[in-house]
Structure 1
Amino acid sequence: MGVLYLVALGIALFGMVMLDRRFTLFFWRDPARAFVTLLVGVVFFVIWDLVGIDLGIFFRGETSFMTGVQLAPELPLEEIFFLTLLCYLTMNLLEGGRQIVARRLEVRRPGVEAGTPSEGGSAS
């Protein structure tokens, strides 16, 4: 039972990967840029956590659902997976939202289709 939270985070991360792959959102759009973006985000939040821990703001709660593995005082292993999920989810949501808006804008432009001349243009 001590790995339940880690397994849940792994399943959620797998879901993010499948959504990313299906809709070409983040890693499937530009893998190198996605890796750097995700790494920067996770490192930023780990530093944020460490500062919060040092100030006594953040602390690890006791639960039987976690592995008990500590990467630093009050920083459980699961936190890295959670921060990765948080950053990946954010990037998928941003790109997914961008794609939805772009599709809606394409639908609202009457007469602008691939291979169709726009109004006022020459058809020859």
Structure 2
Amino acid sequence: MLLLCCMALLDARWKLFLFARPWAAAAVLALGTAYFLVWDVAAIAAGIFLHRESPLMTGIMIGPQLPLEEAFFLLFLCYQTMILFTGAVRLWHHRGTLRRKGEQS
């Protein structure tokens, strides 16, 4: 949860994703997280993923063999990916702008 807050602070500072286009970004996050949750459920049904008890986990399950922490992890994974992607695109465009200004002088 703390890492999600840190990602949100980065996003707010640079307006990279949720703070740039809130509705579109929320839809992307929801769809991405849902996609990976469905993937996890399929892997659990196939016997690939199994939940093991740990004292570091809440113990709250949102489905058979699917802990609450997995949903937060997938949300963080999607958010982090979009922050990295939009940040890289912005940096790429910024470098291109600087390069063009250097060619004009």
Give the TM-score band, short-chain normalised. over 0.9
Question: Aligned letter for 2:38?
Answer: I
**Residues 32-111 of structure 1: matches in 2 within 5 Å?**
32-110=23-101
Alpha-carbon distance, 1:111 to partner:
6.2
Q: In the aligned structure 1, how far is the partner of 2:78 from the partner of 2:41?
A: 17
Structure of higher CA gyration radius: 1
TM-score relative to the length of structure 1? 0.80
The CA RMSD over aligned residues, in Å, is 1.5
Q: Deviations over 1:61-114 (max 9, x none)?
A: 2210001111111000111111100000000000000011011000101368xx
Alpha-carbon distance in structure 1 between the residues aligned to 2:51 and 2:58:
12
Q: Percent of pairs identical after alignment?
A: 40
In the alignment, structure 1 segments of 5+ residues that lack a partner are: 1-9, 113-117, 119-124
Structure with the larger helix share: 2
What's the TM-score once normalised by structure 2's chain length?
Answer: 0.95
Residue 21 of structure 1, CA deviation: 0.4
Once residues 30 and 59 of structure 1 are traced to their aligned partners in structure 2, the CA distance between those partners, rounded to angstroms, is: 37
Say whether residues 1:25 and 2:16 are aligned partners: yes
Partners of 1:65 and 1:28 in 2: CA distance: 32
SS of 1:94's equivalent in the other structure is: helix
3-state SS of paired residue (1:102): helix
Post-superposition shift, 1:59? 1.0
Looking at structure 2, the residues matched to 110 and 102 of structure 1 have their Cα atoms a distance apart, in angstroms, of 12
